[in-house]
Amino acid sequence: MIYTRFIGTGSYLPEKILTNHDLEKMVDIDTSDQWIRERTGIAKRHIAADDETTCDLAEHAARAALDAAGKKAADIDLLVLATTTPDKIFPSTACLLQSRLGMKNHPAFDVQAVCSGFVYAVSIAEKFIRSGSHQRALVVGAETFSRLIDWTDRSTCVLFGDGAGAVVLEASTEPGIHSTHLHADGAYEELLHVPGGVSLGFDIEGDNINDPHYTHMRGNEVFKVAVNTLGQIVEETLVANQLQKSDIDWLVPHQANTRIIDATARKLNMSKDRVVVTVDQHANTSAASIPLALDVAVRDGRIKRGEKVLLEAFGGGFTWGSVLFTY
C-alpha cells in the first residue's frame, strides 16, 4: 500500500512588522495593545513590502522546505499552492512558482479555500501520491492578505498578516497521513467575505456593504460556527481512525486567534503545551498559518518523528477540514 509522509517543512515571514502599538495610531482611540491581546492573543503581524508578492513569499518557504527535505526542485513532480491572494488572475501562482524553482512539465495549480486552503491542498496532493501517479509533492500555503484589509477597520485589521509555509510530501511504504477530511457550506458566504470580484465587479451597491475590495467579517457569528465545526471535525477524524483523544500527540490548528484555538484544544482535552500556537507572532495568515506553525514546531524540536499530529482549519466559504498524520 502507498502512504504519504511529510519529509520537509519551511516557512517565511516578510521583514516588515506591524505591532499592536502601531495599530493604535492607525485605528480608533479605543483600539489598544491590551484590547487586541485580550480578544485575539495577537502581538504583531508581518506585512509584505509594496514590491513583494505572494509568489515571492511562497518561493522563500518552498526553498526552505526543499532544503529541509534534502530534495531539489527537479525531484518534485506535483506542486499545489493554496492562496486567496494570487499574484495574477492567471496564470496561477503555482505556475509562477514552478517557473521560479526551475520545474517543468509536472502539474502545478492553485487551491482557493481561504484559511482551510493548506488542509485542502495537502488532501489533494495526498490523493495524487496514494494513487501512484506521483511520487513527491510540494505543497505551499502563501498569502499577502494585508492587500485585502481596510486598515481603519478594527474588526478585521487587527487579525491578519502575511506569510508563507510549505511542506514536501513523499510516497512511502510506512504510514504517514492517516486520513484527511474536508467540508464546506456556502450558505455562510456573507459572514466572512470580500464582496467584490472579477465576475461580480467592484462597483457594488447594497445593505451592509462598505468597500467591496476589502474583507468583511461578522466576528461573533464566525466564532460560534468555527468552534462548533472544528469540534465536529476533530470527532470525525478520531472516529475514522479509531483513536482516542489521548492518542493525539500534537494539535497544529489554523492560527486565527487564541480563543478559537483554546476552544478546539478543550474539545481534545489537550493541555496547552501540546498545542502549537504561533498566532501571537504573525496573526492570521490564512492558508499560510498551519504550515508556518508546523514548520516552527518541527524546527524547534517539539514535533518528533513517530508522533501523531492533527492539523485542523476553518475559513471563509465556510470551509473546514483536518489532516491526521504520523510525522
User: Whole-angstrom Cα distance, residue 67 to residue 205?
Assistant: 49
- Joined together, the cell numbers standing for residue 120 give 485542502
Please indicate whether residue 254 is annotated as part of the active site: yes
Please indicate whether residue 134 is annotated as part of the active site: no
- Joined together, the cell numbers standing for residue 181 give 477530511
Q: Read out DSSP for 130-157?
A: HHTS-SEEEEEEEE-GGGG--TT-HHHH
Please indicate whether residue 241 is annotated as part of the active site: no
Amino acid, single-letter form, for residue 215: T
Stretch (H or E) spanning 10: strand 3-12
Q: Read out DSSP for 291-315?
A: HHHHHHHHHTTSS-TT-EEEEEEEE
Q: Are 55 and 83 in contact (CB under 8 A)?
A: no
Stretch (H or E) spanning 99: helix 93-101
Among candidates 115, 111, 116, 143, which has minimal Cα distance to 128? 111
Q: Which residues of 45-68 are buried (b: 16+ CB within 10 A; e: fewer)?
A: bbbbeeebbbbbbbbbbbbbbbeb
User: Strands, DSSP E only, in 134-230?
Assistant: 136-143, 163-172, 177-184, 192-193, 216-217
Q: Which of 134, 181, 216, 254 is catalytic?
A: 254
Angle subtended at Cα 40 by Cα 35 and Cα 41, rounded to the nearest 5 degrees: 95
Q: Which of 60, 115, 157, 282 is catalytic?
A: 115
User: Whole-angstrom Cα distance, residue 258 to residue 278?
Assistant: 9
User: Whole-angstrom Cα distance, residue 197 to residue 200?
Assistant: 5
User: Whole-angstrom Cα distance, residue 165 to residue 254?
Assistant: 12
Point out which residues pair with 177 in neighbouring strands. 325
Catalytic residues: 115, 254, 284
